[in-house]
Amino acid sequence: MRAVVLSDDHQVLVEEVDDPILPGDDGAIIKVETSSICGSDLHLIHGDIPSAGVHPGHEVVGTIVEVGSHVRNRKVGERVLVSAVVGCGNCDSCRRGDPVSCPVTGPIALGTTPQWHGGQSEYMAVPAADLFTLVIPDGISTEHAILLTDILPTGYLGAEMGKIQVGDTVAVFGMGPVGVMAVACAQLFGPSTVYAVDVVPERLARAEAMGAIPIDATSAGGALGILEATQGKGVNVAIEAVGAQVTITDALSCVSARGRVSMVGVNLQMDFPFPMALAFLKALEFRAAFAAIPSTWAQLLPMVANEKLVLDDVFTHRFGLSEAPAAYDLFNRRADGVMKILLDPTT
């Protein structure tokens, strides 16, 4: 089969590779219908995470073509979406939909190591299929289904960890796909104002169309822009959806005393220069986490089905799998108004 493969020097290639095999009796093989490129995939090509030999892609919708003998609630022919994060599939944490807390393997992001290939390919293997796939109900579009594999649960986690109260002021840093989801989810909690911070004009315009107040961080920086917009008060909650040092520091800097900072942008630096004095003197709450994706499906799926969450136009570009190098290049440069890219494995 064909799959996106990352080279030793972080180049995006499309190569012929071996077909996947069942990852145990509880696993399944998925024929990929569509996959998408996530902002965290860029950590692989930037070298932030070792990537040689990795087959990326953790946002996947497809059809089951094979199941293991211990699979009970999935069958061949069903269209499913796949959780971006998996675990051992046997522990109490995994069984309650929280592979992030798996004590056996810890959280495993599919498509980030050579041991767990992703779905930017024609087929992919999924462990513990009963737990880490979800049958797509009628009426849920492919685009909305693929949002439920990763970025919508992540955006919701950002809002949830911020403990947003009715009337709060909220700043979301980064208007990429996760940040857009965070804005949409923050609005569910009844804040008085949501500010959207970015440097890309098209992304700021999109946030404004969603009802957020855009803050252009190009010249003065995000924290200063928020403080100017709030007459120096700062916000009650900051959601960081980038994972960069500057946006993390800005998020910590722009909240008021006893504010809450919720980080869902990925940053795995062990030596990150955390501004401890700032957090200590302002008595801040800070949380950072990966989303326990399966645990969110029961809550988020009805919101999507009933259009309580309006998520249209997130996918701005479509490429064939053979065009993946060009798709990655466009996504990396944030050019042509790109927000989210779908890859079609049939072309």
Cβ atoms of residues 198 and 172 within 8 Å = no
**pLDDT over threshold 80, residue 47:** no
Angle between helices 201-209 and 177-186 (to 10 degrees): 20
The whole-angstrom separation of Cα 195 and Cα 207 is 9
Question: Do 25 and 129 sit in the same domain of this protein?
Answer: yes
What is the domain range of residue 211?
152-288
Question: Do 187 and 274 sit in the same domain of this protein?
Answer: yes
E strand map for the chain:
2-6, 12-16, 28-37, 60-67, 79-82, 85-86, 108-109, 123-126, 133-135, 169-173, 193-198, 213-216, 235-240, 255-263, 285-288, 315-320, 340-344
Question: Do 194 and 267 sit in the same domain of this protein?
Answer: yes
Position 268 confidence tier, pLDDT thresholds 50, 70, 90 = confident
Question: Do 12 and 125 sit in the same domain of this protein?
Answer: yes
Q: What is the CATH number of the domain that holds 193?
A: 3.40.50.720
| pLDDT tens readout for residues 146-200 | 999 999 999 999 999 999 999 999 999 999 999 999 999 999 999 999 999 999 9
The total of structural domains in the chain comes to: 2
Cβ atoms of residues 28 and 68 within 8 Å = yes
| pLDDT tens readout for residues 269-322 | 899 999 999 999 999 999 999 999 999 999 999 999 988 887 878 999 999 999
CB count within 10 Å of CB 7 equals 14
Question: Do 39 and 66 sit in the same domain of this protein?
Answer: yes
The whole-angstrom separation of Cα 71 and Cα 28 is 8
Question: Do 259 and 158 sit in the same domain of this protein?
Answer: yes
C-alpha triplet 136, 203, 13: angle, nearest 5°:
65
